[in-house]
Amino acid sequence: MTAITLLKAKIMHHRRPVREKSNKKAASASGGKAAAGRPRAIATQRKALRVAEGAATNGSKTRQRILDVATQEFSTKGYDGARIDDIMRLSKVSKNLIYHYFGSKEKLFIAVLEQAYQGMHRHHMTWPLDVSSPVDGIRKLVRSTFKYWRDSPEFIGLLNSENFHKGKHLRKSKLTKAGYGGLIGNIASLLKQGAKLGDFRSGVDPVELYISISALAYHYLSNRYTLSYLLDRKLSTEDEMKARIVHIEDLTLGYLQYGAAGGNGRSRRGR
């Protein structure tokens, strides 16, 4: 039980009615003293409760500030390059406080990864399910996935570092895998509906499809600076990004519609 819970319990205890005693004089005397002291005790406990709640709120904000700074440091410098001393300095906290909240550099990195994955899973939940057709659903999935990676450069940096370490930190987390089940289930339902209507081929693996869509966006965005130089293309412009989204949509739908019952082996854009 937390200190805040104990304080609340004490306050509720003082609010309970006092049972009458058989001896009314004794009850009156003792009750008078208790009644005189009770409001002061309640006021003191309420003040302590407000202080405790304020400390808990401040602690939560401090922890989040450390996480935000650590995200930037791990993203730009990788797990090996990031330093607790730099995170301490930029967070404006003591090193002891960082270890108090997270225990070690590795556990801090795992907490950063968990926060990033939870953000991605929340984004996946916004993928619209009220689509006009399976083809429309796939187009919206492509756009949603591309938008997430475009808006999450820090996560790309974190994943580059974690893949360098062969995912060893992720394996120590119980939170990072939780959000994929719903997403893959929604994709599977969309593929099943599309196959039933004759829009998509049957037997498509939803996991493989998601990996392909995500990779087509992720690789472009994580490598666009080097590719822009090597290929003489300004890949970071809005027009180039829109063209990339359309390209991913057409590639994905071309695969799904090839050999579909109602497609005669052709991609039917716009359906």
Where a domain ends, among 48, 73, 102?
A: 102
Q: What is the pLDDT of residue 93?
A: 95
111 within some domain: no
Number of domains present in the structure of the chain: 2
Do 130 and 72 share a domain, yes or no?
no
Do 75 and 126 share a domain, yes or no?
no
Where a domain ends, among 56, 75, 102?
A: 102
Where a domain ends, among 72, 102, 132?
A: 102
Do 81 and 35 share a domain, yes or no?
yes
Exposure pattern of 215-246 as b/e (b: 16+ CB <10 Å)?
Answer: ebbbebbbebeeeeeeeeeebeeeeebeebbe
Do 120 and 252 share a domain, yes or no?
yes
Using the Cα atoms of residue 258, residue 262, residue 267 and residue 271 in order, give the sign of their dihedral: negative
Angle at CA of residue 184, ends 180 and 189, nearest 5°: 150
Rounded CA separation 74/113 (Å) = 10
Look up the domain containing 154 and give its range.
116-257
Q: What is the pLDDT of residue 21?
A: 45
Do 121 and 246 share a domain, yes or no?
yes
Do 57 and 178 share a domain, yes or no?
no
Do 93 and 160 share a domain, yes or no?
no
264 within some domain: no
269 within some domain: no
Rounded CA separation 256/194 (Å) = 9
Tell me: the pLDDT tens digits for 107-149?
999 999 999 999 999 888 887 667 889 999 999 999 999 999 9
Q: What is the pLDDT of residue 127?
A: 77
Counting as low any pLDDT under 50, the low residues of the chain are: 7, 11, 18-22, 48-49, 51-56, 264-271
Q: What is the pLDDT of residue 18?
A: 46
CATH code for the domain in which residue 26 is found: 1.10.10.60
Do 249 and 122 share a domain, yes or no?
yes
Do 87 and 185 share a domain, yes or no?
no
Residue 236 DSSP symbol = T
107 within some domain: no
108 within some domain: no
222 within some domain: yes
262 within some domain: no
Do 221 and 165 share a domain, yes or no?
yes
Whether the CB-CB separation of 166 and 79 falls below 8 Å is answered with: no
235 within some domain: yes
Rounded CA separation 137/224 (Å) = 27
Residue 104 DSSP symbol = S
CATH code for the domain in which residue 169 is found: 1.10.357.10
Do 125 and 250 share a domain, yes or no?
yes
Do 170 and 217 share a domain, yes or no?
yes
Q: What is the pLDDT of residue 7?
A: 47
